[in-house]
Amino acid sequence: MCGMDTSFDMHQRRGACEDAANCPDVLADAARTPIALTLPLDKAALAGLRAGDAVTLTGPLYTLRDAGHLRLLEELHEGGSLPYGLAGQTLFYAGPTPPAAGRPFGAVGPTTASRMDFAAPELHHAGIVATVGKGRRSEAVRQACIDTESVYFAAVGGAAAFLAKCVESSHTISYDDLGTEALRRIDVVQFPVFVGIDVRGRDVYGA
């Protein structure tokens, strides 16, 4: 069973705030029913989100990490636009483990998002509408969210086995030689996240 119950939501929000100076409003209403969103996301849906909102995602996510971002930027620079139909899509900073228990992955948890800050602003301007990771982002990423009306979703660390239950299918799109860091499309159902940075630049990490 995937999705977000009250106890998991509270754990997730606390995980986001553990290194923030002050974010009581993020923890204030953990029992609230999460906002259910369908991927790919449209701008109208993103505009209605506020930092701290609990959200579930259903549809395609694209997993990519450090080395894959370097490859993607190279292709963007060479071709002038995002390849592989990534415009309008959501990137998930994750390196899944091999299949287990009859599921596509044994575990799939978020990577520290700041490791992708070198690429995120340019990718947002090229058409990526949202990213999923863990931890705070740079001021450049926050500004890119404002400029492009994009969103950063934060997922809780330490719950990779639980999150793997939300993945229905997976197939490799490109960069297969990178192993776990390859570009993959994964189809998720009620994947639990919360809004870390919204389209107005409001940031649960207090930036």
Catalytic residue among 69, 124, 125, 171: 69
Residue with tokens 């606390």: 14
Hey, which residues does 96 pair with through a beta bridge? none
Burial 56-91 (b: 16+ CB within 10 A, else e): bbbbbbbbbbbbbbebbeebbeeeeebeeebeebbb
Which of 55, 53, 91, 66 lies closest to 173 in space, CA to CA? 91
Q: Give the C-alpha distances (Å, rounded to integers) separating 56 from 74, 138, 163.
A: 32, 24, 11
Residues 6+ apart with CB under 8 A from 31: 6, 9
The answer to whether residue 125 is catalytic is: no
Which of 37, 45, 55, 13 lies closest to 205 in space, CA to CA? 13
Active-site positions?
Answer: 69
